[in-house]
Structure 1
């Protein structure tokens, strides 16, 4: 809580001055107005920084400024520039078009980015000194993963390319359509194993390929081909003769969810060579400034739901691979060279993102611990950084409990926050206080760590309606970050408990694996119930007014919990899985989930799938349950929600199904839907409040 402190003495002095008509009125302290709490309309005014990219010399920081548009119900993305020396904050591109992927040239004199300002999405280059911009590609699909050549003359990028029709599709012969005839849409032929993707629906047989284009404009040239999984980041060889990328180019790659290697393609003749062949996946390659070492991340291929990513290096000339650090019990991410002897890496630790230096012997030195704030609706542990190679300064997204990401820089151990994007909104609102909590789970005494938010008008000694809100994944984590949804619940009078239950990341590999074979189960259920018990014991939570909510994995946990207890007044499950058999055989994550989460195919171990399914417990449910799901969800398809709704209706349990049109799994991707989720949940929960005279 960040309350406005009003003292009796201040109030009395103002009253006395008004009565006495003091001649010294100009020196009288006036009572400050009480700040309003966060409203649904405020969500549209939120902004946050992302893709923070510092120039090679550390002078300038380009970043993507995200803001919500109440008229289009979308997100505006512009590119702004911050002078790290003077603090000057300048919009480079902030108009009706969309911008992203800012990427500095090696000399720091140009900034490449993607934008639809010239029609479809293209790569553009901005000359900083001249303040001019030009599109340098004219391609048919959206480019991504840009990388400058060492001499700045070329840009490599990735782009999706559609494969030719299959022999079967070409063999289908239809009669010609008469002129002006209006036929139904043509049938879609699906032949791929991975045929759908959440956010896109049924996808065409198209695959990411590596391209190169002159940085001053020209024809983009395709370097790779074939129906394989290719990914970035792209890395230029020291002599610019090759481009490194990650890929699985095996014939059966769609069935190999844990495999991937580093490859290099020659610009001269498009020939390929495989650089790594470790069991599992190699990714996130980055080349040292002297071109001597290629650092990369590696994850094994064991069929398990979670593994830490470890850090390795490959000698560019010999190909010899050496582990830099494999015994650190956190997962490394986003390695970047600081100089020829040190890299920066980020990892999540107890819900927070840390950026650290690591030398070639594996010694870690912490640099930054407050990275985050790039997920507006819920407090996910998400953020990013970039390094200035000439100075070692680190620019990053700076997130706190009470604000979304701003631009910050850490140079020589000193942090400077360079923006205040929500000073006009969040600083003017009375937000709920965020407090940390640690307790033991009643299942097996496992330590559970998390946070809870108090209503802005919280009074010590008074009990409040309390909801536990459960994160997705389950191999993700929440952290002490601002979340619009949680602060809105607090503003409506609820204490909001959110914890990193067993299976969450940032607490080590063993903790993340505690749900292996038990997702969902009585185990994570106990983790959440024990947290509520702790708040009841502290005199904060009202035991007669307990509620449960969550999305995706949290929606599963919610639906499972109401089959185990009638302790909750009401529940709200967003994007749940209800039946693991139907889910795994219809969702876009089917193969990887079956291979790494379950002991066998659904028809080979039906009992296990059923035991983990909330539908198996539906006969026990008496808790009024709201279901909230996007109609186009491909990760936890709408049919999952429909099964639970229909089952609860058949049992005459109070239930409501909220269907969000045109929404995928990211059901709160539009700002109006952040508030729609909150508004429906609050309305449902308040129907079932007991003995509450203050709402």
Structure 2
């Protein structure tokens, strides 16, 4: 049972940047969408600051601004809303100062805003972008992390340097790599840099570097209650590059720089948070077992005796973002059956749900998303999402949720949108229950027949839900019923369900989940069995490519940023140190047949389905060479195909508004080429 109902308290509608003349959701409307994220309530519970995301049609970018909400009245005011970007707002303990990061000075720097005085100061002049901004409880210091240059590759230091004549124009110098982690999607080849921890006086001054060495420190900084030390997560083992699921918690004394290990468990310890009385330290732990999925568990370290206890050890969901409510209870976030929930959790393991309406931050597809923060008096602010709107800001008090914003009412209130419906069915493979959803087009008439688009989520250990999706709204507006499911392997259903795909992605087993869902949709009576289409991105792209090697029931397919040949991918993509050992039984040269069986390329000789491939040219997660292999194979087989290359794009094609539009419109154009009249 969920505690409380929803009340809308005088939402503030904001004028869109683009006209909305159509009564339907059009491609151009993507530029006008806005959403809330990084919702931070003040410690005294009186105000909320949040990051508001809006798109700029002239620069094809997403701008971020800071807005302030009064919890009692719902009044909304812009703190910083101009041509610059603002993020990571963090309250001081007295709720009077707000630290944040902005590029208003030309580069990302730390700033401090004094609310009562309405004054703002730039605190830093850093050479690199800061992150992980954290206040000391005494409001005297801020901690943050920043990348710091390290040694160049050994051979680069040894090579003879030839002096270039003055005015000479030589070619770019060679890029030399010698580390195991040498590339990352969205960043390219990694510079020789490591994340270090710094502290900065809140009154201004010079930042002090607290850590050093070739390790990445502290993406989750936390001051001790006395403000004299920092606690954070790090892996300081010499072989850290080869241990993607291992890290310990450390305590760093600010005065002496003494570094003390607080935990030494096998696995990943992270997200430390002190109890109100300072006697206990809660943290998250995840196993380092060689499996593709494991739940995140909550543990508590009693500081006076170093005893570690498990909280809700038998709870078969992944706990995230724990915050102490009292010395004996928490607020936690977890995903359950396609919903992101907030709940209270006692130290004895009693869980009480508060709301299941967290979401709306994932814009292109309906992935589970969203976050929350809690004040000292227990008031909770969070991102509120539905299938009809991107995220707004809501507040939860005494069991009642109140939505404080209405960021997209001006754009969407007058439009006819696709409606989302749940469907539950059994997989033909083994009778496993599968949860899915389908979106019906505007003006839907169940007496008519509609084409069906099966859209498969990525991960594969992620989850969709009844959440906003700009891309799927566009498909539905063009007349498609859009069906999506949380197939075996999806998160939010427990470890057993997630591990049904262990060493099996992709396979006839997960395709049976999708195929059974298509059959369940046909049984509803309004789907045209002669107009079935299939699409998916990332892991969903793998599944879509694998599916058309198993069946010819689809009129056309859209395979987006896929892996086609696992033998080539794991030694070219950026995730090889994790994927090779956690998603496969071992290295490819010792498991050739297994890798080949999981590869869509092994089935390409069966493919008859016209297929469009869409991939970013700078994708390092699923390199475009994977798409090229499938494209060339289909050309040899004389299967109608097209390859859409997105210049400069990494794995997240839809991260820029125009690219999201381009992806959707190419898919729609491809489907329309093969779609036949249904009525």
Query: Where on the TM-score scale, by shorter chain, does this alignment land: which range?
Result: over 0.9
**Does the CA-based 8 Å contact 2:567-2:595 persist in structure 1?**
yes
1:691 aligns with 2:670: no
SS at match of 1:232: coil
SS at match of 1:599: coil
Q: Give 1:558's match in structure 2, choosing from 534, 541, 544.
A: 544
Distance 1:180 1:553 in 2: 50
TM-score w.r.t. length of structure 1: 0.94
Alpha-carbon offset, residue 34 of structure 1: 11
**Does the CA-based 8 Å contact 1:532-1:541 persist in structure 2?**
no
1:401 aligns with 2:361: no
Distance 1:271 1:141 in 2: 26
Alpha-carbon offset, residue 164 of structure 1: 2.3
Q: Give 1:461's match in structure 2, choosing from 444, 447, 465.
A: 447
Q: Give 1:491's match in structure 2, choosing from 477, 482, 500.
A: 477
Alpha-carbon offset, residue 167 of structure 1: 3.7
Alpha-carbon offset, residue 138 of structure 1: 1.3
Distance 1:342 1:138 in 2: 40
Distance 1:165 1:304 in 2: 34
Q: Give 1:606's match in structure 2, choosing from 585, 592, 599.
A: 592
1:311 aligns with 2:298: yes
User: Where in structure 2 are the equivalents of 1:3-14 lying within 5 Å?
Assistant: none
Listed as ranges, the gaps of 5+ residues in structure 2 are 1-19
Q: Give 1:125's match in structure 2, choosing from 95, 112, 130.
A: 112
Alpha-carbon offset, residue 185 of structure 1: 0.9
Cross-structure match for 1:434 = 420
Alpha-carbon offset, residue 438 of structure 1: 0.5
Listed as ranges, the gaps of 5+ residues in structure 1 are 1-32
Q: Give 1:422's match in structure 2, choosing from 402, 405, 408.
A: 408
CA distances 1:287-327 after superposition (whole Å, capped 9, x unpaired): 11211111000111110000001101111233221112221
**Does the CA-based 8 Å contact 2:528-2:678 persist in structure 1?**
no
Higher relative contact order (CA 8 A, sep 6+): 2
Cross-structure match for 2:79 = 92
Alpha-carbon offset, residue 499 of structure 1: 0.8
SS at match of 2:252: strand
1:211 aligns with 2:198: yes
Distance 1:527 1:434 in 2: 20
**Does the CA-based 8 Å contact 1:570-1:625 persist in structure 2?**
yes
SS at match of 1:404: coil
Distance 1:286 1:351 in 2: 27
Distance 1:446 1:73 in 2: 43
Distance 2:650 2:137 in 1: 40
- Structure index of larger Rg: 1
Cross-structure match for 2:462 = 476
Distance 1:601 1:166 in 2: 26
For the aligned residues, what is the CA RMSD? 1.2
Distance 1:133 1:421 in 2: 26
Distance 2:355 2:110 in 1: 32
User: Where in structure 2 are the equivalents of 1:153-192 lying within 5 Å?
Assistant: 153-192=140-179
SS at match of 1:428: coil
After superposition, the Cα gap between the structure-2 partners of 1:470 and 1:218, relative to the gap in structure 1 and judged at 3 Å, is same
CA distances 1:102-121 after superposition (whole Å, capped 9, x unpaired): 10001100011100111210
Q: Give 2:526's match in structure 1, choosing from 535, 540, 549.
A: 540
Distance 2:154 2:342 in 1: 50
Cross-structure match for 1:264 = 251
After superposition, the Cα gap between the structure-2 partners of 1:167 and 1:591, relative to the gap in structure 1 and judged at 3 Å, is closer
Q: Give 1:623's match in structure 2, choosing from 609, 627, 630.
A: 609
Distance 2:500 2:81 in 1: 46
1:137 aligns with 2:130: no
Distance 2:203 2:650 in 1: 38
Cross-structure match for 1:383 = 370
Distance 1:257 1:77 in 2: 31
Cross-structure match for 1:523 = 509
Distance 1:162 1:419 in 2: 42
CA distances 1:239-282 after superposition (whole Å, capped 9, x unpaired): 22210010000000111122111011111122211110111110
Distance 2:55 2:224 in 1: 40
SS at match of 1:615: helix
Distance 2:536 2:247 in 1: 33
Cross-structure match for 2:322 = 335
Q: Return structure 1 stretches of 4+ with deviation > 3 angstroms.
A: none
Alpha-carbon offset, residue 408 of structure 1: 0.1
Cross-structure match for 2:184 = 197
Distance 1:428 1:186 in 2: 56
Alpha-carbon offset, residue 657 of structure 1: 0.2
**Does the CA-based 8 Å contact 1:229-1:253 persist in structure 2?**
no
